[in-house]
Amino acid sequence: MALISCRECGKPVSTEAAACPQCGAPPHRLVPPPLPVKPTTIQQKENIIYSDNMVAVTSTRVIVGGTTYALRNITSVRMALASPPAGLPILLLLFGAFLLMLTVFPIQFQYKNYDPTPGFVLSGVLVVGGIFWIFNVKPKYYMDISSNAGEIHVLTSKNKERIERIVLSVNEAIAKHK
């Protein structure tokens, strides 16, 4: 039992008393300081290496679109490239060229007033459309993560620099983790 001063009258009061015997004020209870908490391995602060709106790379895990991959299970990470399919644009280009040849060298129709203008316009649109399609189709880049379970595509983007930054960040996290 310890004695403390009453907060109202200043006279000594036992710490176990329900009220001050002189003035009746409730005792001033001392709040014990919080106990020191030792961080466990789960509570250790993670260092964020890379973060954007869909991907986070920390010192212990990689989070992609809500899926978490433990860094200790990742053996390697790499960027892969998937070339865009060029079959349809090439077919469009070839069909336009064929139509252009039919317009320039027409099969002799029975029509006396043959007008090649619609053929030129349509074949020109097809050829220009095919060329435009070929040059504007962008390749897709993938981030592949390898583990003991195999290799999976975890992220796809047409932005090569973004995938490169994420791959470098995961490689940095792997190097620091091991």
Q: Where are the alpha helices (DSSP H) in 105-159?
A: 117-136
Percent of the chain with pLDDT over 90: 15
How many CB atoms within 10 Å of residue 111?
A: 8
pLDDT at 17 over 70: yes
C-beta separation of 130 from 96 below 8 A = yes
Q: What is the pLDDT of residues 123-173, one digit of tens each?
A: 899 999 888 888 888 888 999 999 888 888 888 888 899 999 999 999 998
How many CB atoms within 10 Å of residue 39?
A: 8
Task: Report which residue type is found at 40.
Answer: T
pLDDT for position 28: 56
pLDDT at 59 over 90: no
pLDDT at 39 over 50: no
pLDDT for position 144: 92
The CA distances from residue 82 to 5, 55, 93, 159, 167, in Å, are: 78, 21, 22, 12, 16
Q: What is the pLDDT of residues 62-105, one digit of tens each?
A: 888 888 888 888 888 999 988 888 888 889 889 999 988 888 77
> Rounded to two decimals, what is the model's pTM?
0.55
d(CA 128, CA 149): 47
Q: Is the dihedral of CA 126, 131, 135, 141 positive or negative?
A: positive
